[in-house]
Amino acid sequence: MYKRYGIGLLTMQVLLACFFAVKGIEVNRIAATPAFQLRFAEDFAPVEKTSLTGMTLKASSGQRVVDYQVMERTRVLSRKDYEVLLRIVEAEAGCEDIKGRILVANVVLNRVENDAFPDTVEAVVFQRENGRCQFSPISDGRYYSVQISEETKEAVNRALGGEDYSQGALYFAARRYADPERMRWFDTHLTRLFCYGGHEFFS
């Protein structure tokens, strides 16, 4: 009987040692991880919550243990969506400061998360309503000819990392350059939230 209890106690000690070892690995990785990492959807395999035994096997076999904490504060895009977001931010806000560029990225990402709009960046940016483009750089071709700057990359990465000044805005417009009829629609159908740089933001 004592032998059986001894084996059980030894098994529990091994499991506890494995548990704390795995937790130590996770804590060290999280502590060493930057606040933001750009990751793409195709880089992730499907992740399922695992038991203690499963976590121990993954760690001991050398497989990557995904940090849920990091994923929760990182927006995951496809590489195509990332490129589209860079281009539309450059085309719409290439003459704005870093915050102005982040704001444009915020609006696009807000639309992706809103049920009234498509659920990918590419579909949002190329969406048409009654045959009309939602973003002027698509209709006038600027989107296709921009050279993406390092400042725009920084702005987009910061927006993907959770930096958001938009107050939930789903629309923006540069009144100075906008079609007057379009601006009348904005003024009568939307709520103006604020103005920053050359753009007004609406919800």
Angstrom distance (rounded) from CA 52 to CA 65: 13
DSSP H helical segments within the chain, as ranges? 2-32, 52-61, 68-72, 79-93, 98-113, 121-125, 136-140, 142-145, 150-160, 180-189
CB 158 within 8 A of CB 166: no
Question: Residue 37: its pLDDT value, please?
Answer: 57
Q: pTM of the predicted model, to two decimals?
A: 0.68
State the fold for domain 79-202.
Answer: Arc Repressor Mutant, subunit A (1.10.10)
**Banded model confidence at residue 32, pLDDT cuts 50, 70, 90:** very low
More confident position, 180 or 164? 164
Domain ranges of the chain: 2-72, 79-202
Alpha-carbon distance 151 to 69, whole Å? 27
Structural tokens at position 137 = 């750089």
Work out whether the CA dihedral 144, 150, 154, 155 comes out positive or negative: negative
pLDDT digits (tens, 9 = 90+) for 76-103: 899 999 999 999 999 999 999 999 999 9
The pLDDT score that the predictor gives to residue 58 is 38
Position 183 scores a pLDDT of 86
- Taking 80 as the threshold, does the pLDDT of residue 49 lie above it? no
Mean pLDDT of the chain: 77
Binned at pLDDT 50, 70 and 90, residue 9 comes out as low
Are the beta carbons of 105 and 159 closer than 8 angstroms? yes
Bridge partner list, 40: 77
Question: In sequence order, what are the residues at sequence separation of 6 or more whose Cβ sits closer than 8 angstroms to the Cβ of residue 104?
Answer: 88, 89, 92, 93, 96, 172, 199
